[in-house]
Chains A and B, each alone.
Chain A
Amino acid sequence: EDQVTQSPEALRLQEGESSSLNCSYTVSGLRGLFWYRQDPGKGPEFLFTLYSAGEEKEKERLKATLTKKESFLHITAPKPEDSATYLCALFSGGYNKLIFGAGTRLAVHP
């Protein structure tokens, strides 16, 4: 069965303290791995899509990478405005749907 597991559940960082969020997955046929950001009281907002192992994408302080078993979201020198829940999701071609992980709640303190 296709599955997505995110770790840690919650992460507290000081401003400027770089770290990484993990998304492990098992899938019969990966057709895309997605990262979303969700702020309290809002819907998830798209960040990146990765399609094949070795692919990397960057946006400001965020960088997403992909291997055959996991994806990382690296946050470099985070700021308080980066505080949010980060969701990983994989698109399973076998089921034609997006399967979400439970998310990592990130808090960045000044």
Chain B
Amino acid sequence: DTAVSQTPKYLVTQMGNDKSIKCEQNLGHDTMYWYKQDSKKFLKIMFSYNNKELIINETVPNRFSPKSPDKAHLNLHINSLELGDSAVYFCASSQDFGEKLFFGSGTQLSVL
């Protein structure tokens, strides 16, 4: 039973399209995150939510909009996709800030 699951695993799309990535955790954690890993494998936080409330919003273009319908789910919607959005996006969760993170297996987004 996967602790943090995200779908889809791969996403290939054209520039200008809108796409969503879904994430669910069954660990009962209060805090969820979206991270972006670029081609150099550098992991950078994008957003964090605690109990459905947005806590961290890094300098991410407003084309990226996270939504947390409940504390077990955190989805990421991306509008008007650009070539530079190509990367691997990881969802993660933790019991609280400063606790160890549990990561999903990632969504590889390729914008053509």
Are B45 and A102 touching (Cβ within 8 A)?
no
Of B44, B56, B97, which is within 8 A of A100 by CB?
B44
> Does any Cβ of A come within 8 Å of B49's Cβ?
no
**Number of residues in A with C-beta < 8 Å to the partner?**
25
Given A96-B55, A98-B101, answer yes or no on A43-B40 (Cβ-Cβ < 8 Å).
Answer: no
Task: Determine whether A79 belongs to the interface, using a CB cutoff of 8 Å to chain B.
Answer: no
Task: Give the residues in chain B near A46, CB-CB below 8 Å.
Answer: 100-102
Instruction: Give the tally of cross-chain contacts (CB within 8 A).
Output: 52
Are B41 and A98 touching (Cβ within 8 A)?
A: no
Q: Is the CB of A100 within 8 A of B106?
A: no
Binary contact track A26-50/B, C-beta < 8 Å → 1, others 0: 0000011010101001111110010
Contact between B43 and A91, CB atoms less than 8 A apart:
no
A100 to B105, Cβ gap below 8 A? no
Given A96-B55, A96-B56, A98-B45, check contact A91 B98 (CB 8 Å): yes
Interfacial chain B residues near A78, Cβ < 8 Å: none
Interface residues of A (CB under 8 A from B): 31-32, 34, 36, 38, 41-46, 49, 85, 87, 89, 91, 93, 96-100, 102-103, 105
User: Chain B: residues with CB nearer than 8 A to chain A?
Assistant: 4, 40-45, 48, 55-56, 90, 92, 97-98, 100-106
* Nearest 6 pairs of A and B residues by beta carbon: A43-B103, A100-B43, A46-B100, A91-B98, A102-B42, A44-B103
